[in-house]
Chain A
Amino acid sequence: MTHLNLSPVRPSDEPLPDMLRETGGASAEFAHAAPRPMPEGTPIALSAHNVGAWYGSKKAISGISMEIAKNAVTALIGPSGCGKSTYIRCFNRMHEFAPHARVEGTILLEGADVYAPGVDPARVRQRVGMVFQKPNPFPTMSVVENVAAGLRFMGVRNRAEISDRVEEALKLAALWDEVKSDLKKPGIALSGGQQQRLCIARTIAVEPEVVLMDEPCSALDPVATLKIEDLMRGLAERYTIIIVTHNMQQAARVSDYTAFLLMAGDGAGHLVEYRSTADIFTNPHDKRTEDYITGRFG
């Protein structure tokens, strides 16, 4: 994959075409979406244009366009089933792992189309890492082996380099102090919160540009959750983070930008509102966003 173009695909002073209107029908009600809430000149890591995704004949998301700021935390919120997971799984081409799955639209990573013919999904996933809802360490591997698991795909084989990178990733994931005395123990022997930080360490060890997190704290207690939130703020200095969460406080605490997704009449998730987190939580433009974040939804 080539870094053809590091700047946003469109000159930033040109008004954005309203992608949503083009899809017609149910999309008209989503015309308030603002696909680009960051200040002029902010570097863009990922941009999605009119992204739709299917499971067989079921359309899960439709016509979503968003530009995602580099080295920032972007939160996706919305009711269950509105397609948040489906949407972020399009970014690292994990969606196509589901049977009969299909994606339409364009997703540009640093300006390069991740769905272009000839693009290797494995390479895309190296650059766009993912942390899952339930911690999923590899049970037959030790702590170190878990963190080193992805390094071999990058061609890192030198032992000294591996152990350096493992240590650095564990430190970045705020897990080093807790595991350094026993790096050989199995990854599943850690607590749930530690396991999730192990999965974060494993993800950042391969030095992705973007880290997708799908409800990374929903299986954790409040203390472990706060630890991971702190971690995310720190990681945002080096990585672009997209987090799906059901927890409004969490979105408000950790994210710079927030997007609200909602299932429309056609049963597919659409983008309702995408603005800076401060704006969306203090002054939502759309009535449905307001209802959702104040808990009056449904």
Chain B
Amino acid sequence: MAIDRLEHSQRSALGLKNRLKPGDWLFTAVTGFAAIVVLAVVAGMFLELTQQAWPALRAGGISVVWDTAWDPSHKVFGVGAFILGTLITSVFALVFATIVAVLVALFLVEIAPGWVARPVSYVVELLAAIPSVVYGLWGIFVLGVFIRDHLGPALIRYLGWVPFVDGTPLITGLFSACLILTIMILPTVMAVSRDVIAAVPRSQREGILALGATRWEMIRIAVLPYARSGVLGAAILGLARAVGETLAVTLVIGNSVQIPGNIFAPAYTMASVIANQFPEATGLHRAALIEVALILLAITFVINVVARLLVWKVTGGQRAVVQE
């Protein structure tokens, strides 16, 4: 009733009308612009690559994806061997790094006392900051030699019955690349998994303990299922790094265009062939290398979509589990 007697101008002063909110407006504009810029960069990159790769795309068609012959001097540009090399090394690294990372994360969060967990965490995180050329050199001079002299022969002796575990272990080769990639993505996957596992609420742990669970049952039934979508996210972060990793892999994989017959054979990845050959490539060769980059971009895109679907499926359609 008091409001009825107020003048119109006073009413709006009461806040019935929208206040002018320059902060809100500016915020919307700036964030919106940033989002558009990101989209534009991705779209522009895709267009530019397609355009530059066009001669090769037209000459080779779709079959380059499974053609495995790559011979620039005869203008043969099959990308199959590179795709295979990238997939094998990345998937190997993904699987083994995730397994080890989750075990280490569980140890750090659930078992180790603080004075062990803190320094170990710190060192593992430090590993993520080492430049990839250092990993590559270490891969040749330490890891590669170890594989050639000890690990390789031992694997063939004890696991020789497993398909593809044969051949001659050398310093460089598919297996060296797989291991170095595993080691390189381990810190990231471990650090994220550790945070995700540590974030499982106390109420969940106590809930299962109160039903008579042992410590191990608590981890298996309450902690890991709760953390699984986050761990999956961590693994995908690692996979993305493995797919794109160039320098270290180039140093240790052996750079041989072939379908590797066993895990010790030399191979090639998409990122490595671009790094090795792009500086002196011209004409169709150059277009073909850009085509490789385009396929790499597409693979990264597919991985991300699949990852999203996987997380979505695992969490039963919820975006994230929000519960204390």
Contact = CB atoms under 8 A, between A and B. Distances in A.
B211 A150 contact: yes
Given A136-B204, A139-B323, A203 B210 contact: yes
Interface size class of B (residues with CB under 8 A): 20 to 34
Nearest to A138: B222
5 contacts: A129-B211, A130-B206, A138-B204, A138-B207, A138-B222
A132 B323 CA distance: 14
B203 interface: yes
Nearest to A92: B210
B183 interface: no
A97 B207 CA distance: 12
A70 B211 CA distance: 20
Given A134-B324, A136-B204, A153 B316 contact: no
A120 B40 CA distance: 61
Given A138-B222, A139-B321, A97 B206 contact: yes
B22 interface: no
Contact of A203 (B211, B217, B222): B211
Contacts of A149: 208, 211, 221
Contacts of B175: none
Majority secondary structure, B binding face = helix
A202 interface: yes
B209 interface: yes
B203 A125 contact: no
Contacts of A123: 212
B138 to A, nearest CB: 39
B228 A140 contact: yes
Q: Which 8 A-B pairs have the closest CB atoms?
A: A150-B211, A126-B212, A130-B210, A153-B212, A136-B203, A140-B225, A136-B207, A139-B321
Contacts, number: 76
A241 to B, nearest CB: 15
A154 interface: yes
B209 A132 contact: no
A140 B217 CA distance: 15
Interface string A135-150: 0111111000000011
B222 to A, nearest CB: 6
Given A134-B203, A136-B203, A122 B212 contact: yes
Interface of A: 92, 94, 97, 122-123, 125-126, 129-130, 132, 134, 136-141, 149-150, 153-154, 186, 188, 199, 202-203, 206
B223 to A, nearest CB: 11
A94 B209 contact: yes
Interface string B184-220: 0000000000000000010111111111111001000
Interface in B257-296: none
A132 B203 contact: yes
Given A126-B212, A137-B207, 12 more contacts: A125-B211, A125-B212, A130-B206, A130-B210, A136-B324, A138-B208, A138-B221, A140-B316, A141-B225, A150-B211, A153-B212, A206-B212
A261 to B, nearest CB: 21
Interface string B226-249: 101000000000000000000000
A150 B213 CA distance: 7
Contacts of A137: 207
Contacts of B210: 92, 94, 125, 129-130, 132, 203
Most buried by B among A130, A132, A149: A149
B323 A140 contact: no
